[in-house]
Chain A
Amino acid sequence: DTEVTQTPKHLVMGMTNKKSLKCEQHMGHRAMYWYKQKAKKPPELMFVYSYEKLSINESVPSRFSPECPNSSLLNLHLHALQPEDSALYLCASSQERGLVSYEQYFGPGTRLTVT
């Protein structure tokens, strides 16, 4: 099973709302990633978890808060977002992150609209 699942598929939220995006994989991967993708643009890395520890925060605003409850789950908590945060949020996983590189498997994404 090479599937990464994400919920919800679509999310519309106001600027004062709090919501969470969820990601799950059952491939035994130890690295998980959050990306933001705007229309017709490549994915931009936001966060990396390696062995359930946050490795990289690519200077993402604090209104985005990641959480890795266990090795299979990844959450992205959203609070006080801005309309420019509207995008497709992608989750990915890979076997590991380190000296050896592995391919990443992507989920279908959550289409977020901030009103």
Chain B
Amino acid sequence: AQSVSQHNHHVILSEAASLELGCNYSYGGTVNLFWYVQYPGQHLQLLLKYFSGDPLVKGIKGFEAEFIKSKFSFNLRKPSVQWSDTAEYFCAVNEPNNDMRFGAGTRLTVKP
């Protein structure tokens, strides 16, 4: 079964800074990749997903992620963060006939 690693436990940024959150997975076959966000006191929401095609995926709220197959990575980026982006971010991987596995999560704090 696949495992998912998120390198950063807690990231603190100032508003307008650029963001990149790392995500690596271990499975070598075909996978589907997701980033979910959990705002304080709210439920998990899908930010973006990659199934196939263009490895640069654009999601909601200005987020994007790039799938690099050779590096088994799916890093999340945003050019300019806002205070409202403060949340927990989870990378998740799903392989066929298997179930979604989540990374440990990265807590993002954006200082106003």
Of all chain B residues, the one with the shortest Cβ separation from A33 is B99
Q: A40's contact among B42, B49, B105, by CB below 8 Å, is which?
A: B105
Q: When the two chains form their complex, are residues A101 and B96 in contact, meaning their CB atoms are under 8 A apart?
A: yes
Q: Pick the most buried of B44, B90, B94, B102: most chain A CB atoms within 10 A of its CB.
A: B44
Q: Interface 1/0s, chain B 42-54, versus A by CB < 8 A?
A: 1111100101000
Complex Cα–Cα for A105 and B34 (A): 12
Q: Pick the most buried of A40, A92, A103: most chain B CB atoms within 10 A of its CB.
A: A103
Q: Pick the most buried of A33, A42, A103: most chain B CB atoms within 10 A of its CB.
A: A42
Q: When the two chains form their complex, are residues B107 and A109 in contact, meaning their CB atoms are under 8 A apart?
A: no
Q: Which residues of A contact B13 (CB under 8 A)?
A: none
Q: When the two chains form their complex, are residues A48 and B99 in contact, meaning their CB atoms are under 8 A apart?
A: yes
Assess whether A104 is interfacial by the CB under 8 Å rule: yes
Q: Which residues of A contact B49 (CB under 8 A)?
A: 103
Q: Which residues of A contact B44 (CB under 8 A)?
A: 43, 90, 92, 106
Q: Which residues of A contact B104 (CB under 8 A)?
A: 41-42
Given contacts A40-B107, A43-B44, A106-B45, A101 and B95 within 8 Å (CB-CB): yes
Q: When the two chains form their complex, are residues B43 and A42 in contact, meaning their CB atoms are under 8 A apart?
A: no
Complex Cα–Cα for A97 and B94 (A): 10
Q: A42's contact among B34, B94, B97, B102, by CB below 8 Å, is which?
A: B102
Q: When the two chains form their complex, are residues A101 and B51 in contact, meaning their CB atoms are under 8 A apart?
A: yes
Q: Which residues of B contact A98 (CB under 8 A)?
A: 96-97
Q: When the two chains form their complex, are residues A106 and B105 in contact, meaning their CB atoms are under 8 A apart?
A: no
A-B contact pairs, 11 of them (CB 8 A): A40-B105, A42-B104, A42-B105, A43-B44, A48-B99, A90-B43, A101-B51, A104-B100, A106-B43, A106-B44, A108-B43
Q: Identify the B interface with A (CB < 8 A).
A: 32, 34, 36, 42-46, 49, 51, 88, 90, 94-97, 99-100, 102-105, 107
Extra contacts besides A33-B99, A100-B96 (20): CB < 8 Å: A40-B107, A42-B90, A42-B103, A42-B104, A42-B105, A43-B102, A45-B99, A45-B100, A92-B44, A97-B99, A101-B32, A101-B94, A103-B34, A103-B46, A103-B49, A104-B46, A104-B100, A106-B36, A106-B44, A109-B43
